[in-house]
Structure 1
Amino acid sequence: MDKFRVNEISGPIKEIMKVGRTRSEWSCSNGFITFELITGFVYSASEDTLDMIPGTLKLTDCLRFCQENSTCQSINFETGLCVLFTSSATQRPGALKTSHFPVFTMYAHKICLLGTRPCNRVWMFERVIAHELRDLTRKRYSATSREACMEKCLQEHSFQCRSANFDSSTGECAISDMDRHSVPESRYFAPSGDKIEYLENNCVDEGVRLCEFKKVNGRIVKTVDAVFENITSLDECRKMCISVPYRCHSFDMSDTASRVCRLSHHSSASLTHIEDPYLETRGVATYELSACYNVTIHCEAKEMVAKVTSNKLFNGKVYAKKRPNTCVQDVVNRLDFEIRMSYNDLHCDVQQQGFGQFSNDIVIQHHDMIVTNQDLGLSVQCQYDLSNRSIANGVQLEVSGEVDTSGSQSATVSSPNVTMTITDRSGEDILSAQVGDPLALQFDIVDQNSPYEIFVRELVAMDGVDNSEILLIDSLGCPTDVSIMGALEKVDGNGKVLRAPFAAFKFPTSEIVRFKALVTPCLPSCEPAKCTSKYFDGELRSHDSLGRRRRELAEQNELLVVQSIQVTDKFGFERSERKLSDFDETSYERQNDANSQSVEDESSCVNIIGLIIACSLFLLAQLILLLAWTYVWQRRKSKLAEGAANSADMLYTNMSMIY
């Protein structure tokens, strides 16, 4: 491969390259030497090649090779190859050209910075030619060179300077507390005029960080900053990204079997000016840094202050998890924010663990209404040294004068993932049922170690065909008709699992019944709604249901859950694919039960009644005959008593007449 196959840079960019040549790297006695990095460019000066070091898997190693060699002035780096040069684009701007290799190249050269102290980073600034960060300038200075503009950024004390735009035609240096990674939209970083360059500070100190990464499937960066071997897991690769001595913004570990972890200080936000920077293929993924948070706890005399800094503009809220409505701070487009929690303020409910020890739990929530898996929960603590200190007003919580802090702690709490399932009364999941089957609708927080509980409201059953619907649990969290669905109750006293009993039902036009509900996670527990419902005996009874009163709902966080079930009826209708024209009268009466079943049942009822009537008439006739025979028999005895002279023939004749 020809390592120096390049395209020529246009004339205006050549003029930009000349800026900064007034300060020579060869004489930096009053300052220090560091590196300026340019991604997507290659230095073509084969006659000035000092060394080629194949097998170099880390950009930092390549830069150190140059740093340790006094004759080295610049480097080209591709993953696996480091090239050292005795000259740089500062002296030879025409030799710096856009790279068009299958993998893009990163170029860096030595620069001299004055009036500031070096940071613990191998390169301190990255330059993007003919680009700028728009509309986010905090301060403007006049600078004689790019290096002077960089120094203005490093020397800024009123805020942390993350980037600068330097206009070589006017000498204007516009510094900002934002960079390509901290802004929420790519529209802020855009091509500029020929004279403006973007300078990004790699010395930004973000301290101990709580970081979240998002997965981007189907692509990996062609050129990375570092390749680490024998990495056993994706989590270990992630930790490598957070701990390296530069601002790592993405990593990939596409084949865990090979145990190779690749890191990059780039992400999609910083590669917009590079043509085709990704290798796109199925089965791979890049994990890009979504946001990082650094939380510090200031333990003051009367309150605990949690200060949060982020690497990306934050919109959302921070609140005490036990008091999400009364101890809350709304945040709009901020990189840093805080929440103050007074020790004697019931609205924040700070817990006293012991003498001089206080703690509370806070939640950093991105969305204004709902808790998502991007949110963070932190447990913060303050421990005071109260020895030899006076207590004001006899209250232990207020300490006069300055207060010494002896430590703070933090821990991450996972946000909840809620599911809705349809079960039988024993809790076993089911997919189909018949009308009237005893069922239950169950809501679960998947992680039983989660600190959240849940409540449910606006539970609706919908027809799977024509979207007819019936409200089962209203906006207050109460059942609308307990004969259809009962109140939501905790399962075994666990607020993470709720269950509402109901008998299976269906809509006339479909066998599919869809359930939809709003579920709200709450910390630490959910207050039940007070409901009044009419029961089967017609009496109104009060009961609890796991919902929340309307005035409290506006400030809560809601999740939408949906589930479906197939419900069939019990009428026993037989299905036939035969056409009606194929039926004879007999088969039609037998097979079309939908029309004939009730008629047949009615005929059966008529036959049974007729049989009963016939039997009754028969018994009545027998009774009448018996009474008649008894009457005749009594008369016969009377006649026998009156006259014994009657002969046997006469008696026989009389009996014959009776029968």
Structure 2
Amino acid sequence: MACLFLLCLLVRAALCVDEGSVAEEPSVFLQTALKAHDRSQKTSSRNIEVECDPDAITIQLRGTRNFNGMIYPKGLSTNSSCMMQYSKGISDSLVYKLPLRSCNTMSTDVRGGVEYFNTVIIEPHRKVVTSRGKGFHIRCKYHTLHNHTYAFEARAVDKAERPDVHMRIYVGNSEKQVVAENVKIGDPLTLSVGIEPNSMYGIRVTNCVVRDGFNWGAQPLVNNEGCPIDKEIMPGFEYSDGTSKATSTFLAHKFPYTKSVYYQCHVRLCHKPSGGCDDVPPTCDGLRPDRRDRGRMPRSLSRSIRDVEEIKAIEIGDKSTEVFSGLYVNEPSDVERETSHAF
């Protein structure tokens, strides 16, 4: 196997070509905030060039005028929007874009940043998979903000004072902090979202959804108030460490046509000293007592409270953060199915 690496200040691209076999599929996904950079970096090997962009890995193949085949991530050769077919004689070069957030692209935390990787198959036939197909191990390393690696994509203002938000999916409970990689349907998992415990900020987790990575299917999990939509799939979050950590334990699930699943939630910081975290966790089975009491307040007092809340929102700014994480969920084998149904 021959590998070519290019290391620079902001991003690194690596291309490893395996002529004979394709490596095992990567097993964990953590979306991380990328440090802003003026241009993407490139590396090339033979007739293949890899370019690391903020939201995708661009692969360019040269000398392809006679190429009549398809390009796809390993495991996604059929019924996949990630598979592209190419016809002979169209161009002397081909471009294939591999998104960072789908198509089995996975990532891992590395020193000073995060590395995204995937295995791309270049098959010189448009319909069937043959022994002539070759696997290319594509890697792009991005340096993260503040030289730390966290599983989030920040969309907040006031970055100097904003705590870093992280999201992880653990096997079982989060006490042992074993990151879930390859699991089976029904395995217990814990989705953990949090910041470093502090006296200033807490968090409120809302708008969670699980996606298939193809834009084919999505299942809402938590609504805009932070309440669970279907408790059988994922129950509500439990908050701890002074509302700086939220966890939800659930059983692994997947979409029927893919084993990769991606979870996405929105996290908003709340300001503890001003009472902004008093409604965390939310009451999901009825009105909160403070909301019922507010209706009985004098109009002047209610207006004063509303004014304070508006000022508080201005002071804190929009600290909404999108967190993104994923893993592989496998179906039990036929033998395991029979065993589980035996009496």
Structure scoring higher RCO (CA < 8 A, sep ≥ 6) equals 2
- TM above 0.5, one fold? no
Give the structure with the larger helix fraction.
1
Return the TM-score normalized by structure 1.
Answer: 0.22
- Structure with higher Rg: it is 1
Return the TM-score normalized by structure 2.
Answer: 0.41
